[in-house]
Amino acid sequence: MRDIYHEELDGLSDRLVEMTRLVRQAMTQAVTALLDADLRLSEEVIGGDDRVNKIDAEIEETVFDLMARQQPVAGDLRTLITTLRMSGDLERMGDLAVHIAKTARRRHPESAVPPELTVTVLEMGQIAERMVAKAGSVIASRNVEMGLELDADDDAMDRLHRRLFDVLLSPKWTHGVEPAVDITLAGRYFERFADHAVHVAENMVYLITGQRPAEINDLSD
Amino acid sequence: MRDIYHEELDGLSDRLVEMTRLVRQAMTQAVTALLDADLRLSEEVIGGDDRVNKIDAEIEETVFDLMARQQPVAGDLRTLITTLRMSGDLERMGDLAVHIAKTARRRHPESAVPPELTVTVLEMGQIAERMVAKAGSVIASRNVEMGLELDADDDAMDRLHRRLFDVLLSPKWTHGVEPAVDITLAGRYFERFADHAVHVAENMVYLITGQRPAEINDLSD
């Protein structure tokens, strides 16, 4: 009985990794759609989010089912609850990729990103992808070291986010209000995506080590 | 033993209601700070969020402790997990009130809200307050009927949010990019606040009735 139970726990972990893979792909496509004003690609991201939502719902069902049937002890309970949380964060990251894709769609056939911000948005997208990929590795291979890198990635995202506002609010900004609104929202979506990736990694590191990444990083300073 | 356990469950419910009260107050003050460019009030909201975070952390600790000690059965487990989720939503709502207060502080001594948007922002604030108050009532008195009202409130919030963009993107907008950025972000914060209030009510209605509000509302059409 316990063996099937632990197989089911492993299965949950595989589903979470699958979610990180889908969310990463959605983010890659959403950023390309945003920069290239690619309508087909933005529709693909928007339509594809169902798969992420479905896995989230399945994970929730499995967790409640395991809890009801197995009366798990404290450690396994924590794993199950953390799984629910990570699934919720990843589901939300899928939504944020959709929001970016919708920004692209709304402005099509124009690009929502003025030329002087192309590189900044590209970098934000790359960091977002890297963060969700790392979160996936922390879940798949319990790679704590990689989990500890997410805070630095989040700082890099914050710096790019500030650069976005510097450009928007500079007297040299000539694109008016509408692109400013789009960029403001897109920047917020990237920032929240990164926050959720940090949560996933934090939860996983805590599950493995019993410590929060900030505590571990403090010790290694 | 079971009696103390159920007393502890009731205690958790009281803490959640206390969170709704604090978050509601934070939202009221944040909106006043935003409209009146009141620096003292925005600092109060920003500083006061610690209390909400502290209750969230205490609820989490109590839930894990109860789970470890009591091996709760399926129904109680669901209550405990739902409590964690509602606490997480309310904690996030506190953060969003803080974001609105920070918008006010950033633009002080000017107001971040141009005169033609004062009424819209005021209404968004009133709906946000009403929603968190209703969420509190659903938790405190298991008032399902009130929980079912949140979807309509959320629709009203979405309408106001669209009105915000209509004004921002109208050719009559004369305030330039910076206020547009502030209003775009504030609008997003209100909208997310409302989404989290809906989640809290949904979770609570599901706990009481075993059905999602959408299912119940469909039946009564």
More confident residue, A8 or A48: A48
In angstroms, the separation between the Cα of residue A183 and the nearest Cα of chain B is 9
In angstroms, the separation between the Cα of residue B73 and the nearest Cα of chain A is 7
Structural contact between residues B120 and B163, judged by C-beta atoms closer than 8 angstroms: yes
Which chain B residues touch A169 with a CB distance below 8 Å?
Answer: 177-178, 181
In angstroms, the separation between the Cα of residue A158 and the nearest Cα of chain B is 16
For the record, the structure tokens of A16 come out as 């979470």
Share of chain B above pLDDT 90, in %: 83
Quote the pLDDT of residue A2: 56
Residue A221 predicted with pLDDT over 70:
no
Element (H, E) at B167: helix B144-168
Q: Is the ipTM of this complex over 0.90?
A: yes
Which of A105, A136, A121 has the alpha carbon at shortest distance from A23? A136
Neighbours of A40 (CB within 10 A): 9
Which of A214, A188, A190 has the alpha carbon at shortest distance from A201? A214
Model confidence at B126, pLDDT cuts 50, 70, 90, reads: very high
Nearest residue, CB atoms, B68 vs list A74, A176, A185: A74
Q: What is the mean pLDDT of chain B?
A: 94
Chain A within 8 Å of B177 (Cβ-Cβ)?
A: yes
Candidates B77, B78, B195: best to mutate against A (most CBs of A within 10 A) is: B77
Any idea where the domains of chain B sit in the sequence? 2-219
CA distance A40 to B6: 54
Block residue for tokens 């950023």: A31
Model confidence at B219, pLDDT cuts 50, 70, 90, reads: low
For the record, the structure tokens of B111 come out as 């107001």
pLDDT (mean) for B138-163: 96
Candidates 2.40.50.180, 3.30.465.10, 3.40.640.10, 1.20.58.220; CATH matching B2-219:
1.20.58.220
Q: Is B173 left (phi over 0), alpha (psi -120 to 50) or beta?
A: beta
pLDDT tens-digit profile of A107-145? 999 999 999 999 999 999 999 999 999 999 999 999 999
